[in-house]
């Protein structure tokens, strides 16, 4: 397996692999172009998102500054919106459904590292996919941790750290995020 294939599969991989380095540099170039584009250049911005992301539905929109690792592992549905300063570390697939909104400074992180210090110092890392359902609103400065699945019609309150799966139709809040109420 290539290092990229290992990364996508959730196995330990070497992030300094030349293929992965080039893919990250490509994403950085596209993010820079996007972030420096005019906010009302709808067609140009849409084209850049479609170059950067693995797939995108109708009318995706990102406010500047947007950052990601690869972009190619991000898949968003129709009417996806990310507010200012969103970061998606997409070492593993990040799949986001239709009608989802991310408030300012949301972080979605698939990348993770071994708990064992000796393994961690080897330079290898791994990633766990994140899935977010339809009609989800993630509040400002929330963090979605590796391997989490968020159901449909969920609200994640501002400042939450989501460390485990979230069922459909709930509001979660806190660190770690817990169910506050059912919708």
β-bridge pairing 161-162 and 149-150: unpaired
Buried b (16+ CB within 10 A) or exposed e, 29-52: ebbeebeeeeeeeeeebeebbeeb
Report the 3 state secondary structure along 61-106.
Answer: EECCCEEECCCCCEEECCCCEECCCEEEECCCCEEECCCCEECCCC
Q: Among the options 26, 113, 128, 153, which is catalytic?
A: 113
Task: Tell me how far apart the terminal alpha carbons of the chain are, to the nearest angstrom.
Answer: 44
Annotation marks residue 113 as catalytic: yes
Buried b (16+ CB within 10 A) or exposed e, 82-101: bbebbbbbbbbbbbbbbbbb
CB-based contact 154:136 (threshold 8 Å): yes
Measured over the CA atoms of residue 132, residue 182, residue 104 and residue 163, the dihedral's sign is: negative
The residues annotated with a catalytic role in the active site are 113
């Amino acid at each position: 397996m290539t290092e990229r294939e290992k990364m996508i599969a959730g196995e330990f991989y070497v992030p300094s692999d030349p293929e992965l380095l080039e893919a990250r540099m490509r994403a950085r170039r596209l993010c820079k172009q996007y972030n420096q584009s005019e906010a009302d250049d709808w067609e140009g911005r849409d084209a850049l998102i479609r170059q950067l992301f693995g797939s995108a539905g109708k009318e995706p929109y990102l406010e500047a500054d947007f950052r990601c690792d690869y972009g190619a592992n991000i898949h968003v549905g129709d009417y996806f919106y990310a507010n200012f300063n969103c970061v998606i570390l997409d070492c593993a697939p990040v799949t986001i459904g239709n009608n989802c909104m991310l408030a300012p400074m949301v972080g979605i992180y698939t990348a993770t590292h071994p708990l064992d210090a000796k393994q961690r110092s080897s330079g290898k890392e791994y990633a766990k996919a994140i899935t977010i359902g339809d009609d989800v609103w993630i509040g400002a400065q929330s963090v979605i941790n590796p391997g989490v699945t968020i159901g449909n019609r969920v609200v994640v309150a501002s400042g939450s750290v989501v460390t485990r799966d979230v069922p459909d139709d709930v509001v979660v809040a806190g660190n770690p995020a817990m169910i506050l109420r059912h919708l």
